[in-house]
Amino acid sequence: MSQAHLQFRAIGKNFPGVKALENVSFDAHEGRVHALIGENGAGKSTLLKILSGAYRPTSGSLRVGGQERVFESTAQGIAAGVAVIYQELHLVGQLSVAENLFLGHLPGRWGLVNRRRLRELSRRQLAMVGEDFDPNVRLERLSIAQRQMVEIAKALTRGAKIIAFDEPTSSLSAREVEKLFSIIRQLRQAGHVILYVSHRLEEIFQLADSVTVFRDGRIVETFDSLSGVTSDILINRMVGRDIHDVFAYAPRPLGRAALEVKGLMGRGLAAPASFSAAQGEVLALFGLVGAGRTELLKLVCGARRPSAGEVRVLGEKLRLRKPKDAIRRGVVLCPEDRKQEGIFPVRSVMENINISARRHFSAGGLWISPRRERRHASGLVERLSIRTPSLSQKIMYLSGGNQQKAILARWLGEDVKVVLLDEPTRGIDVGAKREIYSIIHDLASRHVAVVMVSSELPEVLGISDRIIVMREGRIVASMDRAAANQEKLLALALPESGSPAGQDRV
């Protein structure tokens, strides 16, 4: 192979109390997709931030096109042809698509923007990523998938040769993923250097030409080709041991109805929703992004006011004015958008774990002992293998996946009746996923009803007792684990699908 366009040479990065990267060296070539994988906190995002110029390495250097570079700022990274597309997109919501695309170099003279030219240029840029929406529309009106396309178009506008993606598919539907992949393949064809971070191994096999595996900030192995490499091999390298049965499902006896939802209606739903979940049952709500699953969960726990219908918990009707009403009765929600709804970024890991209002209610207003608080939090940190230098670390400094685990930890080990989980394993590594599945089963075997929204079919089929399919704001099917398979669930979830022999329809 010719000399690699992008070379990492002995990169190290220290944060107070954390060696995020140590002696990282590998090459990434033009016209190839190079995947970076590893457990939560392994250092993948940190490496991309060094590449972009957002962080300076503690040691080591980068070479771009054979030239040694240390970027002092993201502006220098951009000038050297680097674009990093972060999971939390960096575009400005209030500006139009066109303004975002040309931010910093709007066409025009003497401070006046040439609007017509801007629009025309923007259209051309959007066409390169297969989009034809109006560039004058405000960015906040677009879906996550569309915003991502704008990010890619922006990278191309700036002439980026190296394009890095940090978990780009975690909020996309199956179709949007396909579209993103076809764009990435085009970029590869056009000779770009692509770096690709994901926890979804099936994506690695679909897309990547080579893979570097990280563990604890170091490279475990780089595979220059994926031929002969299996997901068992990759998992073994990532976590340092074999994990065969990720789901570890075992049937449990079910009790009485823990949650009964009757004719519940509200924003985001197209028809009143009715379903129930028994004590000890794991119920999955499957559907495409936008099918109304999150909205349904929010209505169930009072995070959003229903316009009709009722919710019963162990037979008793729930007041649905505020989430507090539901929490008091043992119904808790772990939201999907943890970044916005879930964490208190500048508070410590311990505070974020212990903050659950429920704990304070259950203490009956009593003073909670700091020692007990600490013990509670450290037990959960251990159980979920949350990687943090200490309990007092601000949670915003944890890696994405570790933040998620900390928030999930909040509701565990408490006296709850119904746990509502919205995409609980998004962005979480295989080892931690298995932990979370075992916690879900643990809750269920303690008679809790678990209702879980998930877009990942293997997960839905792997851990639930029963599956409800939603499509376009309504519940369209409910089936037992034994009756479900991938094809059936997808056919039910897709908008224009015919119903498979009418069976299982509600």
| Residue 454: closest CA among 256, 436, 406 | 436
* Closest to 51 measured CA to CA, from 19, 17, 85: 85
Q: Quick check: 106 and 98 in contact, CB under 8 A?
A: no
41 binds, among ligand ATP, Mg ion, none (CB under 5 to 8 A by kind): ligand ATP
For residue 18, state whether it binds ligand ATP (rule: CB under 6 A): yes
- Name the minimum Å distance from CB 286 to ligand ATP: 24
- Please say which residue, 40 or 454, places its beta carbon nearer to ligand ATP: 40
**Contact of residue 387 among Mg ion, ligand ATP, none (CB under 5-8 Å per partner type):** ligand ATP
Q: How far is the CB of 90 from Mg ion (least distance, A)?
A: 15
**Total binding residues toward ligand ATP, as defined by CB under 6 A:** 18
Asked whether position 397 contacts ligand ATP by CB under 6 A, the answer is yes
How far apart CA 91 and CA 96 sit, in angstroms, is: 10
Binding characters for ligand ATP, 25-54, by CB under 6 A (x = yes): -------------x-xxxxxxx--------
| Amino acid at residue number 470 | M
Residue 39 CB, shortest distance to ligand ATP, in Å, is: 7
Contact region with ligand ATP (CB under 6 A), list: 14-22, 140-148, 307-315, 344-352: 14-22
Sheet with 282-286, strands from edge to edge, namely 331-334, 418-422, 449-454, 282-286, 466-471, 474-480
The label of the residue with tokens 């916005």 reads: 340
Using CB under 6 A as the binding rule, the residues of this chain from 215 to 274 that contact ligand ATP are none
Measured from the CB atom, the residue of 72 and 480 that comes closer to ligand ATP is: 72
DSSP for 29-50, please give it.
Answer: -TTEEEEEEESTTSSHHHHHHH
Closest chain position to ligand ATP (CB): 401
Task: Note the helical H segments in 317-399.
Answer: 323-328, 349-354, 357-362, 370-383
For ligand ATP, which is the closer residue by CB, 429 or 465? Answer: 429
Nearest residue (CB) to ligand ATP, 205 versus 397: 397
Question: Burial letters for 265-297: b for 16+ Cβ neighbours within 10 Å, e otherwise?
Answer: ebebbeebbebbbbbbbbbbbbbbbbbbbbbbb
Among 77, 401, 462, 473, binds ligand ATP (CB under 6 A): 401
In the bound complex, what is the minimum distance in angstroms from residue 329's beta carbon to ligand ATP? 33
Please give the C-alpha separations between residue 153 and each of 41, 132, 157, 300, in angstroms, as whole numbers: 29, 12, 6, 39
Instruction: Return residues touching Mg ion (CB under 5 A).
Output: 45, 399-400
Task: Give the nearer residue to ligand ATP in terms of CB position, either 16 or 111.
Answer: 16
Q: Which does 280 bind (CB under 5 to 8 A by kind): ligand ATP, Mg ion, none?
A: none
CB atoms within 10 A of CB 430: 20
The encoded tokens of residue 92 equal 């400005």
Asked if 171 interacts with ligand ATP (CB under 6 A), we say: no
Task: Select from 186-194, 301-309, 397-405, 412-420 the region that touches ligand ATP (CB under 6 A).
Answer: 397-405
Between strands 210-215 and 32-38, the pairing is parallel
Within 217-355, residue ranges assigned H as helices are 231-239, 293-300, 323-328, 349-354
d(CA 150, CA 137): 12
342 is a contact residue toward ligand ATP (CB under 6 A): no
Report in angstroms the alpha-carbon separations of 99 from 153, 186, 486, 490: 12, 25, 42, 38
For ligand ATP, the closer of residues 161 and 405 by Cβ is 405
Per-residue interface string for the shown chain with ligand ATP, residues 349-388, x marking contact by CB under 6 A: --------------------------------------x-
Binding site for ligand ATP (CB under 6 A): 15, 18, 20, 38, 40-46, 387, 397-402
